[in-house]
């Protein structure tokens, strides 16, 4: 009897350490409208879809490599190298490190990798249609070192043109004055990509800026902006040197545009005095609408690569705990956040704000180093001098990570990163 009990306890301990995945045969994947065929079904892990590596890599023009010693899969093409290590939450693109929401994994003898991360690392856009459970990946006409502008018809559009019309398969310079900000449309006339080698802030001392802080009195009337809940939202704001025509405007949720992730992203770039290597990828729920469903921004500040993603939704409705943007602290305050305790048995991590002002923790990441798991903070305002407890399994606290056991009880270190990927604290 004692032997049977021991076996049952051992099995329960093993099961408690497993990250549960849902394999689904009804998820369809298209790359440039061509369906992919898999020998292992797409799988959803913690809300993220992972796909068989060879199928997704080769469809994106990547040569597949494998290092059995380090258990690392590599996707290589001209100008790009993507490396993902099995069960590790850190990946690299051209040597730059990124934290993954879910790691690459092995199921039924096949390696599966996170679909959105791999696709967007190559410059592709990713869309999701919940009704048909379809992932649409669209490869832009690019060289792998960036967008090949010659693949698109260059046209000139006045920066203050209020027409909402967009021509398909064109590239337009949407930078005010001498700035070079390039916007691209796809075959459906949807604005899907904006790039800039350098974002140069607006200069009201030398440029014709109105009292409103804008270059123009109004913005382009893109279809959808007539909706009272949607703003004429800039991809690159006036304050960052962007114009107001249809190639820089998308119908964007008003709260998101004024007080949410979009406003936060613009504030970070303004506070830093600009940025480099700016890429915006915009996705849509279907091929007929001009109202985006998702935004993805990547840019570099002081050598740090920042990646922001958010849906085109009202953040107040999506998260009732959203604080007003006025409570968002400047990035430097992140230095005052530290992990003060880790209880591996009860699976609780306590983080304290030792500064004198509150810190908006949206986008911060807590990493279980040995457990190879990442928790991304939602909109949560950590007040000055206060603590927040992130817990798993049977623990208790303020923010629940997951119902599963995430921490390795054998001295698993915890690490806290800011939204820029900088390590702030370890314990």
Per-residue pLDDT reduced to its tens digit, 76-131: 887 788 999 999 999 998 888 888 888 999 988 889 999 999 998 888 888 887 77
Output the average pLDDT for the chain.
81
**239 with 196, same domain?**
yes
Number of domain units in the chain: 3
Give the pLDDT score at 256. 80
Question: What are the DSSP calls for 370-389, one per residue?
Answer: TTTEEEE--S-EE-TT-EEE
CATH number at residue 406: 2.60.40.1260
CATH number at residue 200: 3.40.570
Torsion angle, CA of 341/361/300/115, rounded to 10 degrees? 90
- Distance, in Å, from the CA atom of 218 to the CA atom of 201, rounded to the nearest integer, reads 20
**Mean pLDDT across 306-315:** 82
**228 with 108, same domain?**
no
**243 with 376, same domain?**
no
Query: Domain range spanning residue 186?
Result: 142-318
Per-residue pLDDT reduced to its tens digit, 10-19: 444 444 334 4
**310 with 331, same domain?**
no
Q: Supply 410's token pair.
A: 């054998």
Sheet containing 72-77, strands listed edge to edge, beginning at the edge strand earlier in sequence: 63-67, 72-77, 80-85, 90-93, 96-99
Examine residue 10 and state whether it is found in any structural domain, yes or no.
no
Examine residue 212 and state whether it is found in any structural domain, yes or no.
yes
**387 with 406, same domain?**
yes
Examine residue 224 and state whether it is found in any structural domain, yes or no.
yes
Per-residue pLDDT reduced to its tens digit, 157-206: 999 999 999 999 998 999 999 999 999 999 999 999 999 989 999 999 99
pLDDT at 250 > cutoff 50: yes
CATH number at residue 92: 3.30.457.10
Integer CA distances (angstroms), 318 to 54, 253, 315, in order: 35, 12, 5
Does the model's pTM come out above 0.85? no
Examine residue 6 and state whether it is found in any structural domain, yes or no.
no
**77 with 27, same domain?**
yes
**285 with 339, same domain?**
no
**182 with 35, same domain?**
no
Give residue 409's pLDDT band: very low, low, confident or very high (50, 70, 90). low
Going 146 to 151 to 152 to 154, the CA torsion angle's sign is positive
pLDDT at 372 > cutoff 80: no
| Domain stops at, among 293, 318, 343 | 318
**340 with 295, same domain?**
no
């Amino acid at each position: 009897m004692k032997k049977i009990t021991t076996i049952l306890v051992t099995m329960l301990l093993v099961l408690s350490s497993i990250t549960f995945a849902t394999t689904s045969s009804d998820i369809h994947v298209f790359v440039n409208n061509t369906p992919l065929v898999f020998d292992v079904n797409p799988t959803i892990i913690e809300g993220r879809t992972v796909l068989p590596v060879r199928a997704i890599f080769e469809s994106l023009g990547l040569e597949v490599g494998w290092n059995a010693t380090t258990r690392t899969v590599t996707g290589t093409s001209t100008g790009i190298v993507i490396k993902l290590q099995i069960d590790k939450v850190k990946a690299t693109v051209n040597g730059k490190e990124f934290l993954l929401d879910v790691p690459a994994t092995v199921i039924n003898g096949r390696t599966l990798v996170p679909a959105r991360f791999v696709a967007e690392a190559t410059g592709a856009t990713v869309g999701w249609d919940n009704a048909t459970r379809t992932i649409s990946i669209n490869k832009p006409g690019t060289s792998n070192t960036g967008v090949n502008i010659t693949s698109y018809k260059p046209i000139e559009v006045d920066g203050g043109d209020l027409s909402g019309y967009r021509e398909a398969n064109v590239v337009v310079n949407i930078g005010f004055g001498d700035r070079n900000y390039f916007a691209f449309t796809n075959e459906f006339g949807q604005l899907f990509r904006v790039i800039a080698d350098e974002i140069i802030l607006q200069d009201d001392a030398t440029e014709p800026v109105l009292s409103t802080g804008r270059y123009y009195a109004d913005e382009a009337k893109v279809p959808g902006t007539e909706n009272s809940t949607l703003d004429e939202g800039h991809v690159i704001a006036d304050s960052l040197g962007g114009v107001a025509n249809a190639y820089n405007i998308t119908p964007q949720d008003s709260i998101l545009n004024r007080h949410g992730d979009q406003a936060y992203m613009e504030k970070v770039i303004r506070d830093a005095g600009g940025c480099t290597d700016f890429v915006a990828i915009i996705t849509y729920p279907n091929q007929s609408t001009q109202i985006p469903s998702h935004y993805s921004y990547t840019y570099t500040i002081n050598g740090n690569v920042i990646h922001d993603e958010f849906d085109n939704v009202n953040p107040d409705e999506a998260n009732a705990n959203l604080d007003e943007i006025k409570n968002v602290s400047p990035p430097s305050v992140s230095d005052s956040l530290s992990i003060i305790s880790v209880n591996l048995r009860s699976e609780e991590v306590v983080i304290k704000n030792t500064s004198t002002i509150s810190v908006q923790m949206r986008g911060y990441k807590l990493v279980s180093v040995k457990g190879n798991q990442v928790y991304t903070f939602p909109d949560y305002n950590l007040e000055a001098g206060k603590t927040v407890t992130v817990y798993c399994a049977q623990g208790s606290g303020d923010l629940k990570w997951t119902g599963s056991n995430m921490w390795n009880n054998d001295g698993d270190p915890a690490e806290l990163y800011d939204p820029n990927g900088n390590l702030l604290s370890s314990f």
